[in-house]
Structure formats: structure tokens, C-alpha cells
Amino acid sequence: MLTRVKRVGETAAVLRTTEQALSYRDLAPSILRQRLVVEGTRVEPIDASEIRAYLKALSGVCDMTVLIEPVTHRSDRFGWAGWVHWETSGAHFYAWDEPFVFFSVDIYTCKAFDTHEAVEFTRSFLGADEVVAREF
């Protein structure tokens, strides 16, 4: 019985920690930070050269200065990933072939950019069937 009570107590502690984490407070309001996640689906799988071209072009759309040209890596288990380093942060790209073709782009910057333009560019460049986006 004590073991069960202890586990319940541990679970309650984890839940309190999660609640605290979810109550977000901006610790650096004087530092501009902008985040956008764009996700979508399409018919054809996405390869490394397309990811690099997309990240390079996205840099121009968002008016970012590229410090390191886009790089990619493929995981046999999870698919492609790519990254571009900007003077004011960067963007990550993830692409799955299975269980269906899906991509997720994570843009994080310390310089303002037009989120609508980035979303529409992504839809057009990747020929997406469906796109969703969330700014935070």
C-alpha cells in the first residue's frame, strides 16, 4: 500500500511540474523572438536537395542573413531533417515518407518576419496538398 501511495504522490508532483511548465511567462520581453511551425502533406516524398533549396529560398522570403548554407541528414528510421543557420537564429525542416508524406518546418528568429508570406511560400514551394501553421 505504501508503494501505491508513493506512486500517486510522484504522479501528483509530475502533474504540478507540468502545470508550472504550461504557465508560460516571458523571461526576456526585451528580446524579440518569433516562432512559426508550418506542417503539411503532399503526394511525393521530399529529398535532401529539395530541403536545401527550400531552406535557402525561405531565407530570402524571411529576409534572413544565412551564416551556414542549409545542411541535411537522413535517419533510416525517421526520414530527412535539415537546418539553416541565420544571423538571427534559424529554421529546421523534418520530412517523413512513412506512414505518409508529411513535413514540419520550425522557424525561430530574433528578427520579425511575415508569417503569412512564409506559410504561403511553403505551400507553393513544396506543392503541398494541405498546410497548417501556428505562430507562438
Q: Which segments of the chain have a pLDDT < 70? A: 1-21
Q: Which of 125, 102, 110 is nearest to 52 (CA)?
A: 125
Instruction: Give the pLDDT score at 1.
Output: 40
Question: Where exactly are the structural domains of the chain?
Answer: 30-135
Instruction: Give the pLDDT score at 5.
Output: 42
Contact 59, 66 (CB under 8 A): yes
Instruction: Give the pLDDT score at 101.
Output: 96
Assigned CATH topology for domain 30-135:
S-adenosylmethionine decarboxylase (3.60.90)
Instruction: Give the pLDDT score at 136.
Output: 87
Contact 108, 33 (CB under 8 A): yes
Instruction: Give the pLDDT score at 19.
Output: 61
pTM of the model: 0.83
Contact 41, 49 (CB under 8 A): no
Instruction: Give the pLDDT score at 55.
Output: 98
User: For 106, what's the count of Cα atoms within 13 Å in the CB-facing half-sphere?
Assistant: 7
Report residue 132 CA to chain centroid gap: 12
